[in-house]
Structure 1
Amino acid sequence: MNQQDNGMQKRMLIMTLVVFVFFIAYEFLVLKPQQEEKAKQAQIAKEQSQNAAPQITSNVSPAAQPSSEDMKKSISALSSKAIGDSEIISTITTAKNIIQIDKLGRVAQVTLLEKKYKDEEGNQIKLFEANQLRPLEVRFANADTNEKAFKTAYASSSSKVDATATEQKLTLTQNIDGFIVTKDLTFYPDGHYDINVKTSEKQQFFITNGFRPNVLVDMYADHGVYLKLNDGTMSLTSDENLEKVESHTGIKFVSNFDRYYATVAYNFENSLQVSLMPDSSNNPQSFIHANGDISFSGFMGPKNFNDLKALNPELTDVIEYGWFTFIAKPMFTFLQFIQSYVGNWGWTIVILTILIKLILYPLSYKGMVSMQKLKDLAPKMKEIQTKYKDDKQKQSMHMMELYKKHGANPMGGCLPLILQIPVFFAIYRVLLNSIELKGAEWILWINDLAEMDPYFVLPILMGASMYLQQKITPNTMQDEMQRKIFQMLPVVFTFFFLWFPAGLTLYWFVNNVFTISQQYYINRMFEKQRAAKK
């Protein structure tokens, strides 16, 4: 290859390595310290709670020892997501969740009821931390009113609401020295709600849909606030990226989200005005503007495509796929279509991967053929480089003549790959953000395609397939250092994929297997052609 092609390969190599080094460095230098700090704070809170609790003396009789159920409740009480019973004035049970309202008229906690939504300890997932900004909290522009509001408890029309089968209403009332705030809520069996907030006197206030759920926040997916405007455009503000207050008008929905879960406020008839305010860590907090009266609907739970679509088709935009959303959304629709017939998400991923490989086969074929031709021309290319090493212009001219004579394209191996990148990234984002994979089983040891492979079988198979793919793929690199670095990539990828969701690793492994089969076919074809020429 000439120096220009060699330089291009070097740049691609450097880019690949920089991306993966960044991910790994971010994992160990940023995320892990944050997780350790969070665990440390939780431990401190636990110790403080234990110190404040009555001590159990050693002379307690066996019959009086706490039961396993009591122990579970005790442990739950020390959790960063536990809410004190004295804080709760109303509990709403729907078919999908349990919603607890506290004495300040806010959503204190949401517990998901579907069996597949469980945490690492096997408990049903709770969306919110106890000390975070809570949904439906009201703040007043008038500082005096605001101060009194946070000292005045709400009254609830019912302490328990059963909305498992039919919609149910709940009224929350706050009397601030004769100034009345009323929240009329309607809860539905699917877990969403409608709310109307009004005040006895016209005052400007702000109501929030709360800080994002804190269930799964990681380096692989965005988390923060997502807005949809009346013109259909989307605005994303990621955590730690908001430095000052920002105001937005003409908002259809505001979604505070982590990887799989969101708390959303929406109104598709009368658009909302929303301000984003940074907290102490520059994370966005969203507040909806109101002046005496406001109505909207809300949803707190998993970003399940079909559930969101059932509420309103536009709510499917709550699921954020990144730069390649225009490819990712139809791809997810196609994925669901396949799953509706197959009935298993694992085999659905396998079938989707095969179909995509078949569709992209013409591009892959051209790239592989080009690499084979360049491999055959490597000795002649080296001769030209040696002969014209002091005249780069002649070297380049003779190289182009050689390419033209044999129908080889030095960019032939790169261009098909570049054209496939948007598709690969779209699949990556779809599988990464699809909570539908949560709790989805696939053969023997894979009990949850949204979680990492517990025995690392898929990552190891993926790394082995990548190594085999390298071995049978023509390598036109002449620089020994580049060769050695590329030989290390299967190891780097394997390490990286150890913590990837099993569904995503499955896609990559199947993709590698079919790439190997395609490359093997091309190699055999060229071997026959070479043998025929002898």
Structure 2
Amino acid sequence: MNNMNQNNGMQKRMLIMTLVVFVFFIAYEFLVLKPQKEAKEAQAKQEQVTQAKSTPVEGMQETDVSGNPIDMSKSVESLSSKAIATQEIISVIKTAKNIIEIDNKGRIAQVTLLDTIYKDEEEHQIKLFESNQLRPLEVRFADTNINSKAFKVAAVASKSELDVKNQKQELIITQNLGETVLTKKFTFYPDGHYDLTTTSTNGKKFFITNGFRPNVLADMYADHGAMAKLNDGTLTIIEDGDLDKNENLTGAKFISNFDRYYATVIYNFEKSLAITLMPDNDGNPQGFIHGGNSITFSGYAGPKNFKDLAALNPELTDVIEYGWFTFIAKPMFILLQFIQSYVGNWGWTIVILTILVKLVLYPLSYKGMVSMNKLKELAPKMKEIQAKYKDDKQKQSMHMMELYKKHGANPMGGCLPLILQIPVFFAIYRVLLNAIELKGAEWIFWVQDLAEMDPYFVLPILMGASMYIQQRITPNTMQDEMQKKIFQFLPVIFTFFFLWFPAGLTLYWFVNNVFTIGQQYYINKLFEKKRAAKK
């Protein structure tokens, strides 16, 4: 820095930049993404089922998602009811976790979750798939004639019902297509996952799809689309609307099509998969696995619950995606889950996690608060130097540096700790946003679901009030009146946006503010004692 004005100016700019990042992040989601989503939904209600514009995998017959060999897929916005026609279902598998319905094309037509916490707005058990979407385990043949028959000839199930609540059971689906016989041999498990071997006779090559993602909760707050984990450990993630051409993946361990809380996953950790991701007419990714004439893998369709996925295979926890700050967010969720295993309440778990984070970051916070207090004390002397050397910026800068050095003050000390804490905030934001474990989790009597907004707006109001108090007791060295007014208005802006945020996230922010107030109050008292001692 060449002069004191540059020091102060940089400090102000960094503080404003930090707050603008927060405001922009929240405002963009609420004011831009949400209206875009609502506009798409309104337009979709007026449209009929649209045809795909994607290029098929080479050698694969184009077919619509209802089974007619014409189009590759339907637009997600054109999907409607989740009711599946009874005459289509040839086998119903009841596990301890879900009900899986297999239709007469050998596809997973529907998965109904049985846990009582998985209910929709009408208190019905959640069903993962729309009736007209591309269904999981649909097979497409390279041979056009056989492919056409595959959507006309009904498959036959070895059993119409399976009770898999207590032990694994096998099911065989057979489809006699003349030139080839397609056989799907399932093993279903009580936890809801399955193993599958699919074969075709006479060497007939086929492709098998993971289907379109579950369509339960695809909102503006979380990613939804498809992801694949490759043998080198990297993740390929393509969100809905972002795929404009076929993308081939080789050496894949799993493919997952997912919304905010739910996923359909096909995985094989012993023999890797070759996958082609194909866009529908809206650029939504749909994965087709190259099956050759025989392929074996395992599958799961259900909530992205960390423990359930880890029980299947630890690598499947990568299905839960936390965005840019996954490297912080994933360990933080593991800690959150560990605390909850002892506390038993997710709300108090969030409170404890917040306190732990504040303790870990306390050295940074302490330095920042001390620096702000020192700068406030030095404000009169800084003004004197400004006035005395107003025409000589070089001397002004030199005397400012001497003043800072003499009193151990750092003009950047107040904002750097805040900036360093931003990744932690966003990591916690993503954890609380994507953790289905919070769904249906109560905290106290008026907060019955930490994954939903506070119905009475108590937490957002408390958060805004605590932010205002924090602002009032924090030393402010800003000289510009416009900057002061912007900062004074921030508690109102944040309160407005947090009205619709999940209660769990608002709870974290409120508790964080309360402890920051306590820390700031403590630092202020120390400085008051020092000033009193000097007198």
Structure 1 length normalisation: TM-score?
0.90
2:6 maps to 1:9: no
Query: In structure 1, how many angstroms separate the alpha carbons of the residues matched to 2:148 and 2:481?
Result: 70
Amino acid at match of 1:2: N
Counterparts of 1:75-86 in structure 2, within 5 Å, are: 80-86=81-87
Residues 86-136 of structure 1: CA deviation (Å, up to 9, x unaligned): 222211111111111122111111111000001111111111122211110
Cα deviations across residues 491-523 of structure 1 (Å, max 9, x unaligned)? Answer: 111111111111111111101000000000111
The Cα offsets for residues 438-471 of structure 1, whole Å up to 9 and x where unpaired, read as 1111111111111111111111111111111111
**Partners of 1:26 and 1:309 in 2: CA distance:** 31
Q: Offset of 1:291 from its aligned partner?
A: 0.5
Deviation at 1:231, TM superposition (A): 1.5
Matched, 1:501 2:502: yes
Query: 2:255 corresponds to which letter in structure 1?
Result: V
Q: Secondary structure at the match of 2:421?
A: helix
Equivalent in the alignment of 2:405: 404
Q: Which residue of 2 aligns with 1:485?
A: 486
Asked which structure has the greater RCO (Cα within 8 Å, sep 6+), the reply is 2
> What is aligned with 1:444?
445
Q: What is the aligned-residue RMSD (CA, Å)? A: 2.0
User: Using the alignment, how far apart are the partners of 1:271 and 1:472 within structure 2?
Assistant: 58
| Structure 2 residue matching 1:201: 3-state secondary structure | helix
Cα distance, 1:177 vs structure 2: 2.7
Q: Secondary structure at the match of 1:469?
A: helix
Q: Is 2:423 the partner of 1:413?
A: no
The answer on whether the counterparts of 1:91 and 1:160 sit within 8 Å (CA) in structure 2 is yes
Distance 1:103 1:390 in 2: 87
Equivalent-residue separation in structure 1 for 2:91 and 2:35 (angstroms)? 37
Secondary structure of the equivalent of 2:190? coil
CA distance in 2 between counterparts of 1:42 and 1:168 reads 41
Q: TM-score, normalized by length of structure 2?
A: 0.90
The CA deviation at 1:353 is 0.9
Confirm whether residue 206 of structure 1 aligns to residue 217 of structure 2. no
Match of 2:287 in 1: 286
Which range is displaced more, 397-406 or 26-35? 26-35
Equivalent position SS for 1:136: coil
Partner of 2:23: 20
- The answer as to 2:355 corresponding to 1:354 is yes
CA distance in 2, matches of 1:25, 1:359: 30
Q: In 2 relative to 1, CA 460–183 (structure 1 residues): closer, same or farther, beyond 3 Å? A: same
Deviates more, 1:473-482 or 1:318-327: 318-327
**Paired residues of 1:42 and 1:80 also in contact (CA < 8 A):** no
Question: How big is the shift at 1:33?
Answer: 4.8
Q: Following superposition of structure 1 onto structure 2, how do residues 94-493 of structure 1 map, counting pairs within 5 Å?
A: 94-493=95-494
Residues 299, 477 of structure 1: alpha-carbon distance in 2 compared, 3 angstrom cutoff: same
Change in CA separation of 1:42 and 1:90 when aligned onto 2, cut-off 3 Å: farther
Change (3 A) 1:5 1:151: farther
CA separation of 1:148 and 1:168: change in aligned 2, threshold 3 A: same
What amino acid sits opposite 1:136 in the alignment?
A: L
The Cα of 1:10 is off from its aligned counterpart by 2.7
CA–CA distance in structure 2, aligned partners of residues 496 and 472 of structure 1: 23
Q: Secondary structure at the match of 1:2?
A: helix
Are residue 38 (structure 1) and residue 41 (structure 2) matched?
yes
> Aligned residues: percent identity?
71
Deviation of 1:391 (Å):
3.3
Report what 1:55 is aligned to.
none
Q: CA deviation at 1:150?
A: 2.2
Shift of 1:368: 0.3
Distance in 2 of aligned mates of 1:251 and 1:182: 24
1:194 and 1:297 in contact (8 A); partners too? yes
- Aligned partners of 2:478 and 2:355: how far apart in 1? 30
Q: 1:93 maps to which residue?
A: 94
Spell out, residue by residue over 1:405-436, the C-alpha distance to the aligned partner (whole angstroms, 9 max, x if none). 11000111122222222222222221111111
Give, in whole Å, the separation in 2 of the partners of 1:98 and 1:35: 31
- In 1, Cα distance between equivalents of 2:318 and 2:463: 32
* Gaps in structure 2 of 5+ consecutive residues: 49-78
**Conserved 8 A contact 1:199-1:293:** yes
1:40 is displaced (CA, Å) by 6.9
Distance in structure 1 (CA, Å) of the matches to 2:433 and 2:346: 13
| SS of 2:202 mapped into structure 1 | coil
* SS in structure 1 of the partner of residue 321 of structure 2: coil
Q: Distance in 2 between matches of 1:284 and 1:488?
A: 42
**Structure 1 stretches of 5 or more lacking a match?**
46-77
Aligned CA distance change for structure 1 residues 406 and 175 (closer, same or farther; 3 Å) = same
Question: 2: distance between equivalents of 1:231 and 1:208?
Answer: 23
Asked if the contact 1:2/1:399 (under 8 Å) is kept, the reply is: no
The offset of 1:257, in angstroms, is: 0.9
1:79 to partner: Cα distance? 5.9
Indicate if the aligned counterparts of 1:6 and 1:477 stay in contact, CA closer than 8 A. Answer: no
Q: Provide the C-alpha distance between the structure 2 equivalents of 1:22 and 1:323, rounded to a whole number of angstroms.
A: 14
In 1, Cα distance between the equivalents of 2:92 and 2:194? 14
State the AA in 2 paired with 1:123: H
* SS class of match (1:89): strand
Deviation of the 1:37 alpha carbon: 4.7
Offset, 1:18: 5.7
Deviation, 1:32, is: 3.6
| Contact persistence 1:105–1:137 (CA under 8 A) | yes
Task: Give distance in 1, aligned partners of 2:175 and 2:397.
Answer: 81
8 Å contact from structure 1 (residues 136, 208) kept in 2: yes
Mean Cα displacement is larger for which, 320-329 or 143-152?
Answer: 143-152
Aligned residues: 502
Shift in Å, 1:309: 1.0
The answer (yes or no) to whether the contact 1:42–1:79 under 8 Å persists in 2 is no
The question of whether the paired residues in 1 share the 8 Å contact of 2:188 and 2:194 is answered with: yes
**1:253 deviation in Å?**
0.9
Residue aligned with 1:410, SS: coil
Most deviating of 14-23 and 150-159: 14-23
Give deviations 1:5-51, integer Å, cap 9, x for gaps: 32442354246336534543443444245336536756999xxxxxx
